[in-house]
């Protein structure tokens, strides 16, 4: 008999309807170093124990009094598939030599290996070693996969963040606007978009220098972020001194209220602008557009049309003296 094997923490479900055979298997498993063992004598009990405990390994008799091991395998694999977390529990079939067809069907259904009864301690210990290596490799692969997923998420975050202002950049804005546009149509909720830029920013840059201009962009970004109070509200740097606000579940009245608040915030925290005809401090001009599926249930507007309309409203705000926001309905 093989000497006891030192295993990592390892739990096993033994499914065997013959009490003497099951007792012998449990004894050998304990000697081999298994820590936790659950016992089942039927298909129904096996499925219930697996669902409750999710063991690391299943030793499964091919023939059971209320069904077959094949049915247990199908149940386990269906349960694992429903969790969507890439779990795969190794399954070892227990069979007599004349059960070859059942073994083949079980392996096809998702089993991993088999043992021929009567099982010897040496073979059982070796199979446990092999199955634990398989389990450890799968765990390592799952860990690597999760690490890669986390790294990709961090990379995507970096790719979609503007380096100067810390706001979502143009790439992130395009993606988020598309998502919120589809969500607004699906949920039949309004979506508002505000495009704005800093008034006479080129004059400021020419007079004060680009380093000071960068500071103005950072301060403007901070103030824009400060009015995005809900989790899905997004402030983005659209390009240069242009910014965008994506406001899900926001009707026209709500967008206009936020725009007035934004104008007040810039006045409350003034950054001097010596070369602006709009005010003696940094100001914004903005255009607003609102997609309202209830008001226009058959709208075929694409998100690009929302941007175009917001841009038209922005130019209207500039034409009317700047330091103001104009909704496209008012153009």
Catalytic residues: 241
**Residue 198, both tokens:** 């800093």
Q: Which of 122, 181, 141, 127 is nearest to 299 (CA)?
A: 181
Taking the alpha carbons at both ends of the chain, their separation in whole angstroms is 90
**Residue 3, both tokens:** 């000497």
Residue with tokens 């500039």: 318
Contacts of residue 260, defined as CB under 8 A and 6 or more positions apart, other chains included, come to 325
- C-alpha to C-alpha distances, 61 to 58, 70, 228, nearest whole angstrom: 10, 9, 60
Q: What is the 3-state secondary structure (H, E, C) of 81-145?
A: HHHCCCCCCCEEEEECHHHHHHHHHHHHHCCCEEEECCCCHHHHHHHHHHHHHHHHHHHHHHHHH
């Amino acid at each position: 008999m093989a000497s006891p094997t030192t295993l990592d923490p390892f739990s096993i479900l033994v499914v065997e309807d013959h009490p003497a055979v099951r007792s012998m298997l449990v004894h050998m498993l304990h000697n081999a170093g298994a820590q936790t063992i659950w016992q089942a004598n039927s298909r129904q009990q096996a499925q219930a124990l697996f669902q409750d405990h999710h063991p690391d390994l299943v030793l499964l008799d091919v023939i059971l009094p209320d069904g077959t091991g094949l049915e247990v395998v199908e149940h386990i694999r269906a349960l694992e598939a429903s969790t969507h977390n890439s779990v795969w529990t190794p399954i070892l079939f227990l069979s007599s030599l004349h059960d070859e067809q059942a073994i083949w069907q079980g392996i096809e259904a998702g089993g991993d290996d088999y043992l021929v009864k009567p099982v010897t301690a040496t073979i059982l210990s070796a199979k446990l070693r092999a199955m634990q290596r398989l389990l450890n490799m799968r765990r390592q692969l799952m860990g690597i996969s999760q690490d890669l997923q986390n790294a990709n998420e961090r990379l995507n975050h970096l790719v979609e963040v503007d380096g100067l202002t810390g706001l979502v950049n143009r790439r992130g804005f395009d993606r988020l606007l598309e998502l919120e546009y589809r969500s607004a149509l699906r949920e039949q909720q309004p979506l508002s978009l505000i495009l704005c830029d800093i008034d006479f920013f080129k004059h400021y840059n020419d007079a004060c220098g680009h380093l000071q201009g960068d500071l103005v962009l950072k301060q403007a970004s901070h103030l824009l972020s400060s009015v995005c109070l809900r989790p899905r509200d997004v402030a983005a740097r659209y390009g240069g001194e242009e910014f965008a606000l994506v406001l899900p579940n926001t009707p026209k009245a709500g967008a206009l209220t936020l725009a007035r608040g934004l104008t007040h915030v810039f006045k409350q925290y003034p950054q001097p602008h010596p070369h602006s005809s709009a005010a003696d401090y940094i100001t914004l001009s903005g255009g607003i557009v609102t997609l309202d599926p209830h008001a226009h249930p058959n709208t075929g507007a694409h998100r690009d049309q929302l941007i175009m309309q917001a841009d038209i409203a922005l130019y209207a705000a500039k034409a009317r003296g700047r330091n103001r926001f104009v909704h496209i309905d008012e153009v």
